[in-house]
């Protein structure tokens, strides 16, 4: 630690940081624009100027930029010095010269960092009386609005978009006061992290387009801490609701998980909650007509389902509580997994590995710390996007090492990037097709799935002699050797695989990690196994190893089970259509709890409407086994309830969590995510509405002029009210960060124990799975798969960030970016079949249609199958398929908006 | 002994000397001296001892700059030399004379510099409009390759050097050495933060020396004739000769190589022939567009870095812009402001948004729409855009003529306000 003096007061600071970061960590107010806590300093805006004195005798001092000055021991600075203050005021005056002052019609208003900093810097009266410079705005796609006149040229957008997230289609153009941030021509922003521009931009240049169609001020949004349900990463979010509709999602800081950034699926994929097709009433289907059910009818039905002969099918997209409630209702032995049997099998492997002491599952923050990464067979960007963003940062660890050697502080962002240029920590990708991360990969091998698995085993063998012998391939032997050496030499190697394509890849990845453990003195090796859905892990812990979905369907078909309750799940996405049809037809009664109509609800006898993620309090378990609590944000307008409430007697979520802790193996620590013993400050609940919430008395004046009684929330420590003690006291219930003088999301620093640190009093979730099994051993190398015949292709399942997730795919903004189901083929395979890009083809055995997408970066003999949002069930196509041109050549969406991976094509083929 | 080492071969009435003629006049002797055993350390000591200061404008000691390049086995293998030939300072045309007139002199200097820092690649970052220099240099480079002065294993020394010509796509900011490096890498020509200095992390992150053309051209003489000779050239405190230029309404504008330390009067009234008939000297910028005005009372000050600094200006590039009494000083400063505002890279706030405001105010003055409030804003910007406040030296450079102009030509500014017109216009 170093001691520095700020305005006469001595403080302890970290000398490895710059003065601005340390001032903010100390809770001092120093305005800034271009600095960002996770992107470091570049010194562009000059807003954080302070006076630095040489020594105690120096009375004049020198103006320095706090963000560009190290917090060295003995530094004496002043924030309050008149010279510094007047310069900061001059800087804001400059920035505001051409700013349109359109705050009343600007969506950033009320949470605008520029507003806050202008106030803080003390610039009031406009002296500039000349003509303002103006810009043209661009169409940037369905997610982002562009209003360049508001730009203050802090360069944060391009630094995030390009430097941090690897996007190539947003750049700084022109010079002097005409600097323009946009695309080379109008068009959809390609990056799957484009939504972060909304939060990275300190003013209203980039705003949330989906939000602006249904806009409300920040202070009028009802919010609560939530968890994204888009994938298994479990990013923390702040959804905002007004007048009964969910309006937007912004990032909620969690130092271990998402930090400051979300992916576009997470940010724009919430709109299914507002979907007009939402199931909102309990319905019984009699002779093809729906009949509304009264409360007592529902009760009678549930009673009926409690009888012997009922089985339950859980859901990886439903909460722990709902899965647990169903399990309690039907009995553990009758609770079946709600994902495909292939996924079930690989999930069992993942669970076994999760308790093995040889491995550690890294958090997103820990992934950023990896200094050598191997990705085996997984398309990380489309399965767990936020992790792909973390991997982009991990390759920069080499740059940080180089900076340390050259004594350049790591926060000197531009300098570190200049120094390192293209030097990166190793990231090797072995998979059957190109991926979005290829541009930062040190090596990438495109091979068939089984060849990738085999190479994985060879790498393990190269690392440690204790690993099983693997059949050696000569083709990539040098690269295999190189990757093995890189992983061995790394301080913190990381192996990534996932269950997108069965368990062989996972086993190979585990062998590599185990070999690394055996070869070194490291206690555990980072092994990150990706799963697709928000509660894949939670449901896997809940369902017995034998209770796979296939078994449930067989039981129904054989008549062994008479009734089935399907929890928030479309079985047609999970199992072969014929098997599901047979089971549901045979079942005497099918009860489905869900939010939206699906192919399964179409075959249900009873439909009970379930609340969506923002309408209930729930816990979910992410890919690392991290349990997180997601609060209810708003009430469901109609009769939907949390699924558990339909089927069990528990009154509150807390009760259910408590029971789950006691009764479900593996959930013992779940209660730790609940707010502490006495969350009620001064007997008051934490308000979901801000202290500036407006219109409360008039909100329903069109219906009733009397102000309605505030709804009570029995489940939560939070209230549907603006009264109470806000989150400043307890960041664990921090819905939307706000602090006096800091109305924007930048106020988060006021809640962190230090910049980029944990939230004060908040918690980062709780790791449920204890590692205590030290008896794990290597997997045997997988058997080679049968080579496809000349006509056949081996299916590899492909995922799309916009489309593969069932619920977000039913959100309007996401739909604007979705494509049809497609078959990715190598040019050779396409030519052989006379297929061209964009043709519609049929896939046998079932004859399902899919659009042809030809890529040089796909292994010949491999068919990359993206199942679209609902038209193809992966379970219908496994192993080998045949593809031929379809007689019908019409498509609904086509593949025109497919951007992911495209721009790397050229590099790879050349 | 040679008294004009920079221009001894230059005769603009004929094409520059080819390599044979250049060699015949002591050319490339320094490279032969290196081949005979002069080590990089020897050269570094020589250059340090010469007292040569950078001729690009900042006047930083060249040897000292070179000594910051990491040496030894642990240092990065690849190092670069970059010659800053992006001569764009208003009123400056000295490097052009050297490159058009004697390209081999610069190449010889580049070999010396590259050898000293052990850079195997050297770039010439040339102003795009200098097409004659481009042709002359390309021809000279070809000849030097053929003769083995550049290329692999130069004269058996084991030292390799490639010289690569890069013509700039434009912009004044490329003259700032770190912005130049970004431009050379194909990026936006924004300056970089210092530290780290290019000597440590420069072109493509590798140790790099950026030297001005004229600085480089001083090197062959120092190595060929020695420091005693070099020290004998000057008439003042700083060593060597320097190219001095004069533009404006003088009788014979031009560019001359003169020893440092001559009185300004000798340059202006002697070499430049004094003011044109009917005109009187009102003031002058001693070293290009980003230096402070000096007045007729300063004519007896000598052309030395320190002497000129004493009266609040800078020798900088040594190319003088003369203001006469029939030209509006407000218009002259305004013209410079227009230039600087346009050439701001747009990276840091004061420069990007401050200079265009200043420029706009001058336009208003020109149109008789200037006000006291505007005058105050100009004064404010002299401080606001000053040294230490902006990211690089462009805006502080612009405040030099602005601040000194406001000080020395206060009445002219006020007249524009009270008369609501420019009184210099008929």
Sign (positive/negative) of CA torsion A716, A718, A724, A725? positive
> Has residue A113 been placed in a domain?
no
A578 at interface of B, judged by CB pairs closer than 8 A: no
Same domain for B269 and B250? yes
Q: How many other β-carbons are positioned within 10 Å of the β-carbon of residue B73?
A: 5
A283 and A204 together in one domain:
no
Contacts of A63 in chain B (CB under 8 A): 388-389
Of B231, B257, B277, the last residue of a domain is B231
Which domain CATH number covers B349? 1.20.1440.230
CATH code for the domain in which residue B279 is found:
3.10.20.600
Phi-psi region of B113 (alpha: psi -120 to 50; beta: other; left: phi over 0): alpha
Shared-domain flag, residues A503 and A577:
no
Distance CA A654, CA A647 (A): 16
With respect to residue B191, please indicate whether it lies within any of the assigned structural domains.
yes
Are residues A417 and A512 located together in one domain of the fold? Answer: yes
Give the CA distances from residue B110 to residues A511, B83, B341, in Å, rounded to whole numbers and listed in that order: 56, 8, 33
* Contact state of B352 with A179 under an 8 Å Cβ cutoff: yes
Contacts of B197 in chain A (CB under 8 A): none
Which chain B positions have a beta carbon within 8 Å of A178's beta carbon? 346
Summarize the confidence of residues B265-275 as an average pLDDT.
Answer: 96
Q: Which helix (H) or strand (E) holds A881?
A: strand A880-885
The confidence score (pLDDT) of residue A717 equals: 85
Q: Are residues B276 and B371 in the same domain?
A: no
CATH number at residue A55: 3.10.20.740
pLDDT digits (tens, 9 = 90+) for B323-356: 999 999 999 999 999 999 999 999 999 999 999 9
Closest CA to A435 of A384, A508, A362: A384
Mutate to test the interface with B, among A123, A168, A175 (most CBs of B within 10 A): A175
Domain boundary among the residues B269, B302, B324 is at: B324
The count of other CB atoms within 10 Å of the CB of residue A562 is 17
Report the CATH number that the domain containing residue A760 is assigned in CATH.
Answer: 3.40.50.740
pLDDT at A524: 95
Tell me, yes or no, whether A413 and A436 share the same domain: yes
Q: Report yes or no: A62 at the B interface, CB cutoff 8 Å.
A: yes
In a domain, A105, yes or no: no
> What ipTM describes this predicted complex?
0.95
The confidence score (pLDDT) of residue A37 equals 97
Low-confidence ranges of chain A (pLDDT < 50): 903-904, 906-910
Q: Is residue B141 part of a domain?
A: yes
Q: Do B263 and B385 belong to one domain? A: no
Same domain, A143 and A252: yes
Question: Do B343 and A176 lie within an 8 Å CB cutoff?
Answer: yes
Q: Does residue B219 belong to any structural domain of this protein? A: yes
CA A601 to centroid of chain Cα atoms: 28
Question: Is A740 a domain residue?
Answer: no
**Who contacts B39 (Cβ-Cβ below 8 Å, separation ≥6)?**
none
Same domain, B52 and B199: yes
For position A907, what pLDDT does the model report? 44
pTM, to two decimals: 0.96
**A125: chain B residues, CB-CB within 8 Å:** none
Domain boundary (A274, A290, A310) is at: A274
How many CA atoms lie within 13 Å of A407's alpha carbon, on the beta-carbon side? 6
Domain boundary among B231, B256, B271: B231
Give the CB-side neighbour count of residue A525, counting CA atoms within 13 A.
28
Query: Is A69 an 8 Å CB contact of chain B?
Result: no
The range of the structural domain enclosing residue A799 comes to 792-909
B78/B208 same-domain check: yes
Q: Is residue A192 part of a domain?
A: yes
* Cα B298 from Cα B291, distance rounded (Å): 14
Contact A414 B192 (CB under 8 A): yes
State the SS3 of A619-667: EEECCCCEEEEECCCCCCCCCCECHHHHHCCCCCHHHHHHHHHHHCCCC
How far apart, in whole angstroms, are the C-alpha atoms of residue A372 and residue A493?
5
Nearest to B205 among A64, A95, A421 (CB): A421
Shared-domain flag, residues B195 and B249: no
In this structure, the answer to whether residues A83 and A141 fall within a common structural domain is no
Please tell me the total count of domains within chain B: 3
Residues A765 and A829 in one domain: no
Chain A residue with Cα closest to B340: A176
Considering the domain boundaries, does residue A22 fall inside one? yes
Pick among B197, B203, B341, B346 to test the A interface (most A CBs inside 10 A): B346
Which of B193, B340, B343, B375 to substitute to test the interface with A, most A CBs within 10 Å?
B193
Inter-chain CB proximity A176 and B348 less than 8 Å: no
Judge if A367 and A513 occupy the same domain.
Answer: yes
Mean pLDDT of B113-128: 97
B152 touches chain A (CB under 8 A): no
User: Cα(B207)–Cα(B204) distance, rounded to whole angstroms?
Assistant: 9
A chain contacts of residue B388, beta-carbon cutoff 8 Å: 62-64
| Contacts A–B by Cβ distance under 8 A | 109
Same domain, A576 and A703: yes
- B377 reaches A (C-beta below 8 A): yes
Q: Are residues A371 and A490 in the same domain?
A: yes
CB atoms within 10 A of CB A766: 18
User: Does A172 sit within 8 Å of B348, measured CB to CB?
Assistant: no
Q: Are A425 and A371 in contact (CB under 8 A)?
A: yes
Q: Is residue B3 part of a domain?
A: no
Asked if the Cβ–Cβ distance from B349 to A42 is below 8 Å, we say no
B265 & B313 share domain: yes
For strands A222-223 and A171-173, give the pairing: unpaired
In CATH, what number is assigned to the domain containing residue B221? 3.40.50.11540
Using the predicted structure, report yes or no on whether residue B83 has a pLDDT greater than 50.
Answer: yes
Of the candidates B81, B120, B83, B109, the residue with the CA atom closest to the CA atom of residue B199: B81
The answer on B112 and B176 residing in a single domain is: yes
pLDDT of residue B292: 97
On whether residue A351 sits in a domain, the answer given is yes
User: Could you tell me if A68 and A74 are in contact, meaning their C-beta atoms sit under 8 angstroms apart?
Assistant: no
B76 touches chain A (CB under 8 A): no
Verify that A761 and A818 share a domain, yes or no: no
- Helix (H) / strand (E) element for B396: namely helix B394-408
The answer to whether residue A602 is domain-embedded is yes
The answer to whether the Cβ–Cβ distance between A179 and B346 falls below 8 Å is yes
| Domain termination residue (choose one: A95, A114, A146) | A95
Distance, CA of A396 to CA of A668 (rounded, Å): 38
**Domain of B273?**
244-324
3-state secondary structure (DSSP) of residue A430? strand
Structure tokens at A711: 């709804």
Domain's final residue, options A95, A120, A152: A95
Residue A298 lies in a domain: yes
Task: Using DSSP bridges, classify how beta strands A359-360 and A443-446 pair: parallel, antiparallel or unpaired.
Answer: unpaired
Nearest to B352 among A177, A421, A423 (CB): A177
Using CA atoms, how far residue A623 sits from A347, A523, A540, B31, in Å, is 11, 21, 11, 66
CA angle, A835 as apex, A832 and A836 as ends, to 5°? 130
- Based on the fold, state whether residues B318 and B334 are members of the same structural domain: no
pLDDT score, position A909? 42
Residues A506, A583, single domain; the answer is no
Quick check: is B349 in a domain?
Answer: yes
Radius of gyration in angstroms for the set of CA atoms belonging to chain A, rounded to a whole number: 28
Q: Is the peptide bond before B295 cis (omega within 30 degrees of 0)?
A: no
Q: Do you know the residue count of chain A? A: 910
Say whether both B222 and B294 belong to one domain: no
Q: Quick check: is B424 in a domain? A: no
- On whether residue B297 sits in a domain, the answer given is yes
Reported as a single tens digit per residue, the pLDDT across B220-259 is 999 999 999 999 998 888 899 999 999 999 999 999 999 9
Burial A705-714 (b: 16+ CB within 10 A, else e): eeeeeeeebe
Distance CA A76, CA A61 (A): 9
Examine residue B152 and state whether it is found in any structural domain, yes or no.
yes
Q: What is d(CA A50, CA A41) in angstroms, rounded to the nearest whole number?
A: 15
The overall average pLDDT reported for chain A is 93
Same domain, B90 and B216: yes
Reduce the DSSP state of residue A359 to 3 states and report it: strand
User: Considering its fold, how many domains does chain A have in total?
Assistant: 5
User: Looking at the structure, do residues B172 and B53 belong to the same domain, yes or no?
Assistant: yes
State which residue of chain B sits closest to A88, comparing Cα positions: B384
């Amino acid at each position: 630690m170093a001691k520095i003096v700020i305005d006469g007061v001595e403080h302890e600071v970290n000398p490895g940081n710059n003065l601005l970061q340390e001032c903010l960590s100390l809770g001092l107010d120093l305005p800034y624009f271009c600095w960002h806590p996770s992107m470091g300093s570049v010194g562009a805006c000059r807003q954080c100027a302070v006076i630095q004195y040489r020594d105690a005798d120096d009375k004049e001092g020198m103006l320095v930029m706090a963000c560009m000055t190290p917090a060295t021991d003995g530094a004496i600075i002043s924030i309050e010095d008149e010279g510094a203050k007047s310069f900061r005021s001059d800087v804001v005056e400059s920035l505001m010269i051409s700013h349109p002052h359109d705050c009343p019609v600007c969506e950033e208003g009320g949470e605008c960092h520029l507003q806050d900093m202008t106030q803080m810097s003390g610039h009031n009266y406009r002296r500039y009386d000349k003509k303002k410079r103006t810009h043209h705005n661009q169409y940037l796609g369905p997610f982002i609005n562009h209003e360049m006149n508001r730009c203050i040229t802090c360069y944060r957008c391009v630094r995030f978009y390009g430097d941090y997230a690897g996007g190539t289609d947003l750049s700084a153009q022109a010079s002097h006061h005409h600097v323009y941030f946009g695309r080379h021509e109008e068009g959809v922003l390609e990056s799957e992290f484009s939504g972060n521009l909304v939060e990275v931009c300190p003013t209203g240049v980039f705003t949330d387009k989906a939000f602006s169609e249904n806009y409300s001020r920040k202070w009028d949004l009802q919010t609560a801490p939530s968890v994204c349900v888009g994938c298994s990463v479990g990013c923390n979010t702040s959804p905002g609701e007004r007048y009964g509709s969910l309006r937007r999602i912004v990032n909620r800081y969690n130092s271990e998980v998402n930090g400051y950034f979300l992916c576009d699926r997470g940010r724009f994929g919430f709109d299914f909650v507002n979907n007009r097709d939402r199931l909102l009433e309990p319905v019984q289907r009699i002779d093809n007509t729906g009949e509304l059910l009264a409360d007592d009818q529902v009760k009678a039905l549930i009673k009926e389902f409690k009888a012997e002969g009922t089985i339950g099918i859980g859901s990886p997209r439903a909460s722990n509580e709902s899965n647990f409630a169903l399990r309690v209702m039907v009995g553990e032995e009758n609770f079946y997994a709600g994902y495909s049997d292939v996924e079930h099998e690989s999930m069992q492997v993942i669970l076994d590995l999760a308790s093995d002491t040889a491995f550690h599952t890294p958090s997103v923050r820990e992934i950023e710390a990896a200094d050598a990464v191997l990705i085996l067979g997984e398309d990380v960007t489309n399965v767990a996007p936020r992790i792909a963003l973390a991997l982009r940062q991990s390759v920069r660890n080499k740059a940080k090492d180089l900076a340390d050697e050259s004594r350049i502080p790591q926060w000197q962002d531009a300098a570190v990037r200049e120094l390192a240029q293209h030097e990166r920590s190793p990231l090797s990708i072995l998979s059957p097709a190109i991926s979005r991360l290829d541009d930062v990969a040190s090596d990438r091998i495109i091979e068939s799935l089984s060849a990738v698995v085999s190479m994985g085993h060879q790498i393990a063998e190269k690392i440690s002699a204790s690993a099983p012998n693997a059949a050696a391939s000569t083709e990539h032997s040098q690269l295999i050797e190189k990757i093995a050496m890189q992983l061995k030499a790394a301080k913190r190697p990381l192996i990534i695989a996932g269950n997108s394509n069965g368990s062989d890849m996972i086993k190979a990845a585990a062998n590599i990690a185990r070999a690394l453990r055996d070869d070194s003195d490291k206690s555990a090796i980072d092994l990150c196994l990706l799963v697709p859905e928000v509660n894949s892990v939670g449901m896997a812990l809940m369902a017995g190893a034998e209770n796979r979905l296939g078994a449930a369907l067989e039981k129904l078909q054989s008549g062994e089970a008479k009734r089935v309750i399907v929890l928030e799940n479309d079985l047609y996405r999970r199992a072969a259509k014929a098997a599901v049809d047979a089971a549901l037809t045979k079942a005497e009664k099918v009860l489905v709890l869900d939010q939206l109509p699906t192919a399964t609800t179409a075959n249900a006898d009873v439909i009970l409407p379930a609340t969506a993620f923002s309408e209930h309090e729930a816990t979910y378990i992410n890919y690392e086994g991290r349990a997180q609590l997601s609060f209810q944000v708003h009430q469901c307008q109609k009769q939907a309830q949390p699924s558990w409430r339909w089927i069990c007697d528990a009154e509150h979520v807390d009760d259910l969590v408590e029971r789950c802790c006691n009764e479900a193996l593996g959930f013992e620590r779940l209660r730790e995510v609940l707010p502490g013993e006495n969350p009620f400050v001064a007997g008051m609940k934490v308000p979901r509405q801000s202290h500036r919430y407006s219109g409360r008395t008039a909100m329903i004046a069109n219906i009733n002029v009397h102000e309605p009684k505030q709804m009570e929330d029995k489940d939560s420590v939070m209230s549907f009210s603006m009264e109470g003690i806000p989150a400043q006291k307890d960041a664990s219930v921090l819905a939307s960060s706000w602090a006096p003088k800091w109305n924007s999301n930048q106020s988060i620093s006021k809640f962190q124990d230090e910049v980029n640190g944990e939230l004060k009093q908040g918690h980062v979730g709780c790791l449920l799975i204890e590692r205590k099994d030290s008896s794990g051993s290597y997997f045997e190398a997988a058997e080679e798969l049968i080579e496809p015949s000349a006509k056949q292709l081996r299916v590899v399942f492909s995922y799309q960030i916009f489309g593969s997730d069932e619920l977000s795919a039913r959100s309007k903004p996401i739909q604007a970016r979705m494509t049809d189901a497609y078959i990715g083929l190598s040019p050779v395979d396409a030519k052989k079949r006379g297929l061209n890009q964009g043709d519609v083809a049929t896939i046998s055995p079932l004859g399902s249609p899919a659009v042809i997408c030809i890529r040089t970066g796909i292994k010949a003999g491999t068919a990359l199958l993206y199942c679209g949002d609902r038209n193809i069930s992966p379970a219908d196509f496994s192993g080998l398929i045949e593809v031929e041109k379809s007689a019908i050549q019409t498509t609904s969406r086509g593949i025109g908006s497919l951007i992911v991976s495209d721009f790397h094509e050229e590099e790879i083929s050349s | 002994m040679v008294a004009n080492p920079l221009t001894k071969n230059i005769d603009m009435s004929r094409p520059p000397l080819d390599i044979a003629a250049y060699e015949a006049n002591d050319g490339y002797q320094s490279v032969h001296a290196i081949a005979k055993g002069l080590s990089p350390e020897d050269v570094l000591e020589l250059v340090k001892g010469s007292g040569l200061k950078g001729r690009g404008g900042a006047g930083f000691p060249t040897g000292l700059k070179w000594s910051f390049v990491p040496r030894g086995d642990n240092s990065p293998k690849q190092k670069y030399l970059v010659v800053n030939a992006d001569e764009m300072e208003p009123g400056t045309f000295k490097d052009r004379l050297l490159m058009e007139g004697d390209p081999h002199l610069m190449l010889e200097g580049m070999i010396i510099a590259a050898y000293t820092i052990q850079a195997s690649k050297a770039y010439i970052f040339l102003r795009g409009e200098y097409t004659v220099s481009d042709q002359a240099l390309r021809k000279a480079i070809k000849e030097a390759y053929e003769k083995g002065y550049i290329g692999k294993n130069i004269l058996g020394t084991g030292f390799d050097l490639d010289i690569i010509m890069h013509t700039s796509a434009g912009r004044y900011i490329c003259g700032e050495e770190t912005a130049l490096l970004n431009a050379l890498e194909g990026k936006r020509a924004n300056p970089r933060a210092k530290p780290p200095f290019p000597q440590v992390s420069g072109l493509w992150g590798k140790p790099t020396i950026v030297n001005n053309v004229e600085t480089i051209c001083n090197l062959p003489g120092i190595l060929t004739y020695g420091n005693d000779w070099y020290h004998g050239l000057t008439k003042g405190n700083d060593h060597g000769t320097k190219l001095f230029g004069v533009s404006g309404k003088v009788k014979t504008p031009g560019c001359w190589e003169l020893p440092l330390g001559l009185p300004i009067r000798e340059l202006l009234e002697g070499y430049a022939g004094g003011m044109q008939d009917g005109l009187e000297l009102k003031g002058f910028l001693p070293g290009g567009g980003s230096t402070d005005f000096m007045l007729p009372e300063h004519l007896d000050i000598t052309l030395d870095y320190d002497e000129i600094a004493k009266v609040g200006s800078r020798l900088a590039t040594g190319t003088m812009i003369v203001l006469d009494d029939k030209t509006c000083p407000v218009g002259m400063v305004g013209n410079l402001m227009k230039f600087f505002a346009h050439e701001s890279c747009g990276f840091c706030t004061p420069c990007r948004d401050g200079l265009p405001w200043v420029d706009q105010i001058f336009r208003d003055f020109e149109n008789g729409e200037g006000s006291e409030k505007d005058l105050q804003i100009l004064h404010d910007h002299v401080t606001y855009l000053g040294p230490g406040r902006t990211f690089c030296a462009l805006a502080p450079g612009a405040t030099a003529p602005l601040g000194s102009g406001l000080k020395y030509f206060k009445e002219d500014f006020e007249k524009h306000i009270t008369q609501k017109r420019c009184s210099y216009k008929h």
